[in-house]
Structure 1
Amino acid sequence: MTPDARTLVVVADGHRARLLEQPRIDGPLHDRPEWLSGLKEHHPHSHGPVPHEGDPHDLAERAFVKDLAHRLEGVAREQPFDQMILIAPPRALGHLRDALSPSLAHKVIGSNPHERVDAPIMTLEDVVHGVRRDATA
């Protein structure tokens, strides 16, 4: 593993996300809200009547995560990175993993199944460090 590896850290829940950049392994994290411009929050009742095929919250979460995965493809084209770490509650994390393209999924080196969208940078740096430690154990 090269210490200069650039990492994209994706922090999400079912309707909001943050993208952070770590320019080198164990370096500082930098919020990159501009990489999410245009990504809309999805709420269970934001798109009119919901079909009877599922839970409205789950459908809204899946729609948001699908949009997020599509946005990550664009970020990967414009801001090449070597690795990706995913941080999201378990259900959203599963949906996100399912929505990633094979090329992005290949970059995922680990994840943290917790709600941390509002966490301060210092907390997220600790989480990322723990994910890296677990990935090499």
Structure 2
Amino acid sequence: MEVAMQLDGKALVVVADGEHVRMLEERRRGGPLTEREDWTKDLDYDLLASPPRGRVFQRVGPGSHTVDAATPKARSEARFLEAVAEQIGRLVARDAPDEVILIAPPRALGTLRAALPPAALERLGPTEAAERCGETVDQLREAVRAARLDA
């Protein structure tokens, strides 16, 4: 059975790490990417970061006195990425992109995948485990193209 490559359709491209997110729209496959800052304006890491659970001012050594095994930074990053996943779900429900493409470092990518709502998971396209938040839109377009070829 031969599978035809889809040439039309729009994609939501999400580039994230534990503290930053960029969302881009590709209106046709292989076309230019348009950064959509309006989609990320409510996703501020500093506002979404979880508050510390407790502090110890007199301690010796590098140990942490947190209640659970996760560090405060790891909890903050997970909470931020869960908010990103919720926003992806809202955009999928509203705009119905044909494909959701995720680009994030390995741990962030795993957290995002795990937090995606079912409708977004159904549209999940290629993913790349890489840190690309600081790249230009043209570099991201090439990364999306390479991810599609590797998929």
The partner residue of 1:38 within 33, 39, 42 is 42
Length-normalised TM-score, structure 1: 0.90
**Cα contact 1:87–1:116 (8 A) shared by 2:** yes
SS in 2 for 1:130: helix
Identical counterparts, % of pairs: 35
The CA RMSD over aligned residues, in Å, is 1.9
Distance across 2 between alignment mates of 1:73 and 1:4: 22
**Cα contact 2:81–2:112 (8 A) shared by 1:** yes
The partner residue of 2:6 within 2, 6, 22 is 2
CA apart distance, 1:43: 8.2
**Cα contact 1:11–1:87 (8 A) shared by 2:** yes
Unaligned runs of 5+ in 1: none
Distance across 2 between alignment mates of 1:118 and 1:106: 28
1:127 is matched with 143
CA apart distance, 1:120: 0.3
1:11 is matched with 15
Pairing 1:24–2:28 present: yes
Matches within 5 A, 1:69-84: 69-84=85-100
2:67 is matched with 52
Length-normalised TM-score, structure 2: 0.82
Unaligned runs of 5+ in 2: 55-65
Distance across 1 between alignment mates of 2:140 and 2:48: 28
The partner residue of 1:100 within 99, 110, 116 is 116
